[in-house]
Structure 1
Amino acid sequence: MAGKQSHVVIFPFPLQGHIKPLLCLAELLCHAGLHVTFVNTHHNHKRLANPQALSTHFPTLHFESISDGLPDDHPRALNGELLIALKTSIRPHFRELLKTISLKAESNDAPAPPLSCIITDGLVTFAFDLAEELEIPILSYNVPCARYLWTCLCLPDLIEQGQLPFPDDDMSVEITGVSGMDGPLHRQDLPGFCRVKQADHPALQFAINWTQAQRRASALILDTVYELDASCLSHMALMFPKIYTLGPLHALLNAQIGNVSKSLASHGGLWKSDPNCMTWLDSQLSRSVIYVSFGTLVNLTRAQMMEFWYGLVNSGHPFMWVIRSDIIYGAHQIPAELEIGTKERGYIVDWVSQEEVLAHKAVGGFLTHSGWNSTLESIVAGLPMICWPNLGDHYIISRTVSQKWKIGLQLNENCDRCNIETMIQTLMGPKREEIQSSVDTISKLARDSVVKGGSSHNNLEQLIEYIRSLQHHI
């Protein structure tokens, strides 16, 4: 009976790096027989790659979209305008959608069962208010890594202890009071908003309010492997009644649905992939290519772009570099020697299906901004990384990759072409064996977690059982 089927509404923060993992989770829940309504903004839903194919393969997956109140040509970057739109436009539309879904479910010919719960992106804090108002159970999914979330949960204590804001500009000072981080944290490992001069700075307060809001959820869902983050998860467990670690989510989905996932590889993508990049990779030697991508949010100055470009060309290794159309501020001209070097052994592309590229036998390393999605994808693919952190959880991820797990190298914020060249040669040359040994160990741990008997596989089953125990009518 439809009434006995669980119905979950999933609402991601409206950026690609948040949409893709939550869509993976939606597919996993549908594969288990749950009904899922996935909510996007109109703007993002129009850009979503082939949602019809997903709905065809997962008959209980349905898409809804709501207005974000922004003009069509708005860039929709992670900034104040998007955050304001969440409160002023998206919040009331999402509230009305929840009420509409509930009313439809009560009719005799309802296409969907009654609503069981909401799974919201942790950044969509207004969803907690609506869930409490409408008396709907709510679970929180967090895109950033667990260590970042735990660090942000500790921010009020760091302020009370006088460690924040920083009294000076020495970034090497050790931070105490964040337990479970497998070694000391330093100021340079904390997110950029910790470098503000006042404790009441809006950016710092936003991070505090966002993380404290998570404690209102009935359960916390994290895209991580329990064994990788057990040290900090044991501390977080004292705050949260239920924590489900399901990472790497894309690998868990692949393990559940097998070869079908290859035909749906672009799911969650808002950017069109270059179809010719795989042909170029096919022409390269095994493990010879350094793949470069800074995700969907990071921007470069012209000076930074030139340093990276010279470092890549001068390294002597083949490279594939994702350069989004909006990645650089202002116009730029490319020196002739870079054009020649790129033509000889480089491939510049607007966007790619990253999972597919990282899995290609020609790719031997990943120069990354250290976003959590990219880091997990690199771990699953068994590739060492060069980390260039920029914002949010990138700094803690880069520290963990390079110092704790020892599966990559960390590039200083002030990127220098000689340093970039040296790091590429280290990562791709004869000395890579030591790093690769650590990568293989971490990669196996991640891949083992998503198969039957693994921690993420077991946690998914427990999450599904928990959702099925929630029966709700507004």
Structure 2
Amino acid sequence: MLNLGSILHSKGFSITIAHTQFNSPKPSDNPDFVFLPISDGLSYSDLSSKGIVDFISCLNINCKEPLLESLTPMIDEKQQLKELPCIIYDEYMYFAEQVAHLLKLPSVILSTGSAANLLTYYAFPRLQKDGFIPFQDDMALDMVPELHPFRFKDLPFRFKDLPGASSENLDALSKLIASARDTRSSSAMILNSMEFLEQSSLIQLKQQCRIPLFSIGPMHKIASASSSSLLEEDSSCISWLNKQGHNSVIYVSFGSIASVDAKELTEMAWGIANSKQPFLWVIRPDPDNGAEPTDWLPDEFKVTLGERGYIVKWAPQQEVLAHTAVGGFWSHCGWNSTIESISEGVPMICRPCFGDQKVNTRYISHVWRNGFELENDLERGKIERAIKRLMVEKEGEEMRQKAVELKEKTEVSIKKGGSSYNSLNELVELITSV
């Protein structure tokens, strides 16, 4: 959302960011924006106890009135200037669309995932009606009818994969998915994707949602250089990367939400060490108690680490992936990480945890073929083999070549005359007209 604000600001729009108290951005990082904090009544412990589905539902209930109260005086002021705003909202924050409707303002959806992921949402009612949802474990590897190339295990709404989710909240999940795919009151939808990357999915999605779609990705490459990270970045790793060989480093990061336990962390440590590859590893502190996960690492591992590895709490990922020393990315495959890796031509080892990460992994491994999935339990021997497969073997070199081709196509799409370039100009025209 911050990247999109930066892009639209460069096109002459004034930008106000309405945000919750939870995970709030730093206004100092984006001095050109007006920031509008709204009360949400939630904490990180609520996320742990409620789970993602209930947490998002609570956000939508709690934030509707505060946003309405905050926007009403702004609308009165803008009416006098004849500059009524357009509300752009995250697909899961559907309370913003309800507020836009009450205030008689145009609204535009920002879908922060892939087009392919959205298509699974449109398939949800059919799969539920046909008795496929919730599906049983013995169906995991079966292909989903009319939803190529997905198996049931690749769908983003498998209950046991969602933190805090259970079969009891099927109704809550159904409502959330229904709200995320409801486009009836919106003027358009923005996607952080590219036409060449998801052409087939975008065509199908347009038929489903029946509003204009604007694929203007990768947005982080179009936006200004100001940071959009909500976590403090440790840039000391760049100096370490400067000392490493070309394409020699495996970068390991599972994003800002996904986590591993102490046993998995130990297996990862020895698998990475035994691969003999230089590595940059992001290990976040435990958000519940502030404990350092590095304390769980074996002492012998720390001794053998030497200069061959570097560990940080959070990395400037876009800068890391663009560095010539980075030759592979072991990722949870959230959409931001996926699109950032594609933009820099870095092949991937995929370890999805939940939600759209599984959808993205399926495309990486079976459609774009710029990476492969590390399946089942994390075990040091399997991890070692996976890293060597990507970093030093012929198959990894073929994936790297695929990744480079995707990078080149990405660069074409954002240049003048490219699909994302043209789509952005069309978006600006639409917002101005509504």
- Please indicate, yes or no, whether the TM-score normalized by the shorter chain is above 0.5: yes
Q: Match of 2:42, SS?
A: coil
Q: Matched residue of 1:228: which SS?
A: coil
The one-character-per-residue Cα deviations of 1:13-35 (angstroms, maximum 9, x if unpaired) are xxxxxxxxx11111111101112
Equivalent position of 2:408 in the other structure: 444
* Aligned: 1:428 with 2:400: no
The 3 A distance-change label for structure 1 pair 439 and 92 is same
Match of 2:279 in 1: 319
Which residue number in structure 2 is paired with residue 122 of structure 1? 91
Residue aligning to 1:209: 178
Paired residue secondary structure (2:196): helix
What CA distance in whole angstroms lies between the structure 2 residues aligned with 1:373 and 1:197?
Answer: 26
* Correspondences of 1:242-391 after superposition (within 5 Å): 242-253=212-223, 261-262=224-225, 264=226, 267-326=227-286, 333-391=296-354
Task: Find the counterpart in structure 2 of residue 30 from structure 1.
Answer: 9
Alignment of 1:97 onto 2:70: yes
Residue 240 of structure 1 aligns with which residue? 210
Is the Cα–Cα contact under 8 Å of residues 324 and 350 in structure 1 kept in the other structure?
yes
| Equivalent position of 1:54 in the other structure | 30
Return the offset for 1:76: 5.1
| Alignment equivalent of 2:110, drawn from 138, 141, 146 | 141
Cα RMSD for the two superposed structures: 2.4
Q: Secondary structure at the match of 1:214?
A: coil
Report the counterpart of residue 65 of structure 1 in structure 2.
37
CA gap 1:149/1:187 in 2 versus in 1, 3 angstroms: same
- 2:138 counterpart (169, 173, 179): 169
Match of 1:201, SS? helix
Is 1:404 paired with 2:376? no
Give the conservation status (yes or no) of the 8 Å contact 2:60–2:93. Answer: no
Summarize the Cα distance change of 1:327–1:37 in structure 2 as closer, same or farther, 3 Å threshold: closer
C-alpha distance in structure 2 between counterparts of 1:289 and 1:202, whole Å: 45
Cα 1:197–1:79, aligned 2, differ >3 Å: closer, same or farther?
closer
Distance 2:127 2:168 in 1: 10
- Checking the alignment, whether the CA contact within 8 Å between 2:53 and 2:172 is kept in structure 1 is no
Q: Which moved more, 1:169-178 or 1:317-326?
A: 169-178
- Indicate the larger mover: 411-420 or 218-227: 411-420
Say if 2:60 and 2:94, in contact at 8 Å, map to a contact too: no
Q: What stretches of structure 2 of length at least 5 have no aligned partner? A: none
Conserved? CA contact 1:193–1:204, under 8 Å:
no
Give the whole-Å Cα distance in 2 for the aligned partners of 1:89 and 1:68: 5
Deviates more, 1:327-336 or 1:123-132: 327-336
Select which of 355, 363, 370 maps to 1:392. 355
Q: Is the 8 A contact 2:21 2:37 kept in 1?
A: yes
Q: By how many angstroms is 1:333 displaced?
A: 3.3
Identity %: 34
Shift of 1:251: 1.4
Aligned residues of 1:358 and 1:377 also touching (Cα < 8 A): yes
User: How does the TM-score come out when normalised to structure 1?
Assistant: 0.83
- Superimposed CA distance per residue, residues 6-58 of structure 1 (whole angstroms, 9 cap, x where no aligned partner): xxxxxxxxxxxxxxxx111111111011122111224544x52xx33532xx4
